[in-house]
Amino acid sequence: MQIIKDYLQKLALISDEDWVVFSTKFEKQIFKKKDLIIKSGDVENYLSFIETGIVRFWIETEDKDVIFDFTYEKSFFSAYLSFLTRESTNWNIQEVTPIVLWRISYTDLQLIYDQTQVGEKIGRLAAENLFMMATKRKISLLTSTAEELYVELFIKM
């Protein structure tokens, strides 16, 4: 749990009182390699933080699986569009390695926004960070060769 506090403290100073609220809302879960965290057609109910491990994001087509992103240790992830809109996602998220996650439900995150002084600020900064990462990823996919993308993948690992 300290790993999440350290991550969040980089975004904003969290009081001891606010941390008590945060820390009671996160749930630790362990998944095996190749388990599905969410599958296409489901509604994303969790925002997850990777303590250890790697996940892949992929879309199933008629003839193959198309991987479009990876997320690594010490990062948050979700099928974020589904998480925000409460509508089903059209992609899958699966473990590449065994993984330890800290997860918070949509409902509990709303409580944090309402019950803490710093929750909304952290949420805004985290959303801004996700937007910047997604934009950089799109630019990279449009301007990099397959070899450059492959090298970038291994640098992140």
The pLDDT tens digits for 42-87 are 999 999 999 999 999 999 998 898 888 889 999 999 999 999 999 9
Q: Which token pair is 135?
A: 């934009």
- Domains of the chain, residue spans: 2-156
pTM of the model: 0.86
Instruction: Mark the ranges of the chain whose per-residue pLDDT is less than 50.
Output: none
What CATH code would you report for 2-156? 2.60.120.10
Which residue, among 103, 88, 81, 84, has the nearest Cα to 43 in the 3D structure? 88
Is residue 20 exposed (0-12), middle (13-18) or buried (19+ Cβ within 10 Å)?
exposed
**How far is the C-alpha of 20 from the C-alpha of 58, rounded, in Å?**
35
**How far is the C-alpha of 40 from the C-alpha of 45, rounded, in Å?**
13
